[in-house]
Structure 1
């Protein structure tokens, strides 16, 4: 008795996009961000190129979508931790530090490659800066009440983001532990607020 193959279930647009993003993250993990092309993504995802082009348009659109998915995970992780922490400076600073590092470690070594690729064009760099601005505004609102001046300056927030990226990437590459990255970022946040 022959069995007929099961008909392929058509994914919703949202499910297909998520599938493509999952395959793209795996591709970046296994082959690096340079290997990430729409054609290669279509091949690995088992779809036609027009499907991938319909979702992302260009490689830049795909990179932007990857960064957006990373940012959404980072925001959700931080919001959940903030909702569960005490409203003290130490608790809030620890949540910011641990959430940032944990999110990068959850994503793995892929995110540094995606961030580097985002810097490859002014359009992508602008997208990255927009997401950073939202993160900085959130951190400013959380931390400003604990500074003597009631303010946290842009220079300090930029230094915090630079430290967060460098420390998280070092932890993702096993140069330092996650705990060391979180502790150092926590200390950087403390120093930034103390100077404000």
Structure 2
């Protein structure tokens, strides 16, 4: 049985504050009961609001799950931005920041992130959110790493690094591999991507 107790009615919130509250409650539901529990009706009950409020913010269950995925990405991006701003301007330091931020955020979110992504698999909402998040992440990596490769890091190399980041972080969050080896492997992948882009055989992006 879930340890969650129905939330008490809260004071009236602004639209943005209410959305943030609903997302926080939804993550709690996913953590305690799994992604299958994330229905709009269950979220309304847990958040102590009327169902129309939840429908107004997310529209559908897929819309809610997509909002959670996007929320995770925003927090991951903020963590990486802060770490990059505080890092030394060297290739190893920049690559390490990217690796640690990507794996670290996935670990912080736990297995509920994998459940949300799995529940959304194949939906138009997920495809739209994933493409937008991936494009933003690639551009952020490009800005951080391009100074270390004449002509910049190639797009195929960045896409390959993103695939490795996703696979390694999911495995670490699921407990299939330890966090430190996941970070170390992703660091090696990123450094290799930059090194390949430096070589004379680099193909146009």
User: Which of 45, 48, 52 matches 2:47?
Assistant: 45
How many residue pairs get aligned? The number is 190
Partner of 1:140: 142
Structure 1 residue 11 and structure 2 residue 16: aligned?
no
Shift of 1:7: 8.6
In structure 1, list runs of 5 or more residues that go unmatched.
1-5
TM-score by length of 2: 0.86
Shift of 1:90: 0.4
TM-score by length of 1: 0.90
Partner of 1:158: 159
Shift of 1:8: 4.7
Shift of 1:150: 2.2
Partner of 1:23: 25
State the Cα deviation string for residues 71-121 of structure 1 (Å, max 9, x = none): 111111001101111000000000000011111111111112222333321
Structure 1 residue 81 and structure 2 residue 83: aligned?
yes
Alpha-carbon distance between aligned partners in 2 of 1:117 and 1:189, rounded to the nearest angstrom: 29
Q: Do the aligned partners of 2:10 and 2:48 also contact (CA within 8 Å) in 1?
A: no
In structure 2, list runs of 5 or more residues that go unmatched.
1-7, 198-205
SS in structure 2 of the partner of residue 27 of structure 1: helix
Q: Do the aligned partners of 2:9 and 2:48 also contact (CA within 8 Å) in 1?
A: no
Partner of 2:194: 193
Partner of 1:99: 101
* Residues 52-131 of structure 1: pairs in structure 2 closer than 5 A: 52-131=54-133
Shift of 1:188: 0.5
Alpha-carbon distance between aligned partners in 1 of 2:45 and 2:68, rounded to the nearest angstrom: 18
Q: Do the aligned partners of 1:92 and 1:142 also contact (CA within 8 Å) in 2?
A: yes
Alpha-carbon distance between aligned partners in 1 of 2:116 and 2:151, rounded to the nearest angstrom: 35
- 112-121 vs 135-144, greater mean Cα deviation: 112-121
